[in-house]
Amino acid sequence: MEKEWRSVAKAISWRCVGTIDTMLISWLITGRLSLALSIGVVELFTKMILYYLHERAWNKLSLGRVKAPTEVGLP
């Protein structure tokens, strides 16, 4: 289980990378830096919130998790 602040830190770091990518792609497609920056700013916040919610939902699932040896057999 991860603490919530870890999910926040991961969301922020990933969104920085993702937002730079989105801005570059938007700039290449539109040719307008101001439009690319606007798209990037909106995308930064919406996807950070979505990532956090997604991460917390997955943290509640046991799918694919393996119990550590010290946890086996404990009530």
The verdict on residue 74 lying in a domain is no
Instruction: Using the Cα atoms of residue 65, residue 57, residue 55 and residue 60 in order, give the sign of their dihedral.
Output: negative
Rg (CA), the chain: 18
- H helical segments located in 1-75: 4-30, 33-60
Asked if residue 53 is part of any domain, the answer here is: yes
Rounded CA separation 41/21 (Å): 12
Q: Is residue 71 part of a domain?
A: no
> How many folded domains does the chain comprise?
1
Query: Is there a domain that residue 27 lies in?
Result: yes
Q: What is the pLDDT of residue 42?
A: 93
Containing structural domain, residue 20? 4-59
In a domain, 64, yes or no: no
pLDDT in tens, the chain (75 residues): 778 888 788 878 888 899 999 999 999 999 999 999 999 999 988 988 888 898 889 889 888 888 877 766 666
Asked if residue 70 belongs to a domain, the reply is no
